[in-house]
Amino acid sequence: MKIFLDTADIEEIRTAARWGVLDGVTTNPTLYAKVGGRYEDILTEICGITSGPVSAEVVAEDVEGMLREGRAFAKLAPNIVVKVPMSEEGLEAIFRFAEEGIKTNCTLIFTANQGLLAAKAGASLLSPFVGRLDDINQDGMEVIRELVTIIELHGIESEVLAASIRHPRHMTDAAMAGAHVATLPFKVLQQMVRHPLTDKGIVTFREDWTKARKAADEKNAAQASGDGRGAQQADEKVEAITNKPGV
Ligand code: G3P
């Protein structure tokens, strides 16, 4: 499964790229509002960090307006994908973009039927919003499951992109549901890295390493000076490290 970052924050994108886990980026007007500046400049900078798809969202509600905005985005970099909302006008724009060879990501999908229509119109990415459905007491992940099944059953080329991911469990469930992509906030990416037992294990290994080195030095010194008791005490210290519960 590909991992996209759902952000317009350049530093977050750079960090994920350094970790080797970044396959692309999705932005939207709300995420753009958080960072400010010129949207076009931000998109160009993001495209310089990742060669994966970078979604740029149109805000026009009429077909010609969407086409105008999308064509301008597409000129910024070859990896721009124009994000178009699900609507009658959106479908028409997606179809026209496809004819022009411009890739699209259909956003604000809340049912498998909407996803199916976006795929038919030619969207390369279909973005069901999982978290926002959960927010209204519906099973957001069910839409991912249904849409993945439809895509695979009918050999459709579009990819299902699980969006509105709010926590690490969403990521695991999206991966198990067969989502081709999931886009997530940087905070969720950080949460995926962490586990309290990992943190505890790192500290314990470091402490054991220090103690073992000290005991080895003490044993060498004791042996060099013929101090048999000292050498034995050093061995006992090593034993205490290796006989801890859980080792
Ligand atoms: O990119 C759009 C989507 O991921 C929004 O997420 O958390 O605002 O529902 P959220």
Q: What is the average pLDDT score of the chain?
A: 96
Whether the pLDDT of residue 183 is over 80: the answer is yes
Q: Are residues 188 and 232 in the same domain?
A: no
User: How many CA atoms does the CB half-sphere of 128 hold within 13 Å?
Assistant: 32
The residue with tokens 């976006």 is 118
Whether the pLDDT of residue 9 is over 70: the answer is yes
Q: Is residue 247 in a domain?
A: no
Query: Model's pTM, two decimal places?
Result: 0.92
Atom in ligand 1 nearest the alpha carbon of residue 183: 4
For position 78, what pLDDT does the model report?
98
- Closest Cα partner for 49 from 84, 25, 74? 25
Q: Are residues 33 and 116 in the same domain?
A: yes
| Separation CA 48–CA 25 (nearest Å) | 12
Q: Evaluate: CB of 65 within 6 angstroms of ligand 1.
A: no
Read off the CATH number of the domain in which 144 is found. 3.20.20.70
Q: Treating both helix axes as pointing N-terminal to C-terminal, what angle do 10-19 and 39-49 enclose, rounded to 10 degrees?
A: 10
Q: Is residue 182 in a domain?
A: yes
Atom in ligand 1 nearest the alpha carbon of residue 55: 1
Q: Are residues 173 and 233 in the same domain?
A: no
Q: Write the residue with the smallest CA distance to atom 5 of ligand 1.
A: 164
* pLDDT per residue as tens digits for the range 25-83: 999 999 999 999 999 999 999 999 999 999 999 999 999 999 999 999 999 999 999 99
pLDDT above 70: percentage of residues in the chain:
99
Q: Write the residue with the smallest CA distance to atom 6 of ligand 1.
A: 164
- Closest Cα partner for 130 from 152, 157, 110? 110
pLDDT above 90: percentage of residues in the chain:
94
Work out how many domains the chain is built from and give that number. 2
Q: Give the tokens for residue 214.
A: 């000290």
* Confidence grade of residue 244 (pLDDT, cut at 50, 70, 90): confident
Q: In sequence order, what DSSP letters do the residues of 171-240 get, joined into one string?
A: HHHHHHTT-SEEEE-HHHHHHHH--HHHHHHHHHHHHHHHHHHHHHHHHHHHHHTT-HHHHHHHHHHHHH
| Separation CA 36–CA 104 (nearest Å) | 24
Q: Write the residue with the smallest CA distance to atom 3 of ligand 1.
A: 164
* Residue 6 alpha carbon to ligand 1 centre in Å: 7
* Residue 65 alpha carbon to ligand 1 centre in Å: 23
Range of weakest confidence among 154-163, 180-189, 201-210, 237-246 = 237-246
Q: Write the residue with the smallest CA distance to atom 8 of ligand 1.
A: 164
- Closest Cα partner for 184 from 14, 25, 67? 25
* pLDDT per residue as tens digits for the range 200-243: 999 999 999 999 999 999 999 999 999 999 999 988 888 888 88
For position 242, what pLDDT does the model report?
84
For position 173, what pLDDT does the model report?
98
Q: Are residues 109 and 62 in the same domain?
A: yes
Q: Evaluate: CB of 57 within 6 angstroms of ligand 1.
A: no
Q: Evaluate: CB of 28 within 6 angstroms of ligand 1.
A: yes
Q: Evaluate: CB of 27 within 6 angstroms of ligand 1.
A: no
For position 243, what pLDDT does the model report?
83
Active site residues: 83
Q: Are residues 226 and 155 in the same domain?
A: no
Whether the pLDDT of residue 245 is over 90: the answer is no
* Residue 129 alpha carbon to ligand 1 centre in Å: 7
For position 246, what pLDDT does the model report?
67
What is the span of the domain harbouring residue 228? 196-242
* Confidence grade of residue 247 (pLDDT, cut at 50, 70, 90): low
Q: Are residues 92 and 212 in the same domain?
A: no
Q: Are residues 128 and 236 in the same domain?
A: no
Which residues make Cβ contacts (< 8 Å) with residue 245, sequence separation at least 6? none
Q: Are residues 222 and 131 in the same domain?
A: no
Q: Are residues 170 and 211 in the same domain?
A: no
Q: Is residue 24 in a domain?
A: yes
Q: Are residues 183 and 201 in the same domain?
A: no
Phi and psi at residue 121, to the nearest 5°: -70, -20
For position 27, what pLDDT does the model report?
96
Q: Are residues 188 and 200 in the same domain?
A: no
| Separation CA 215–CA 221 (nearest Å) | 10
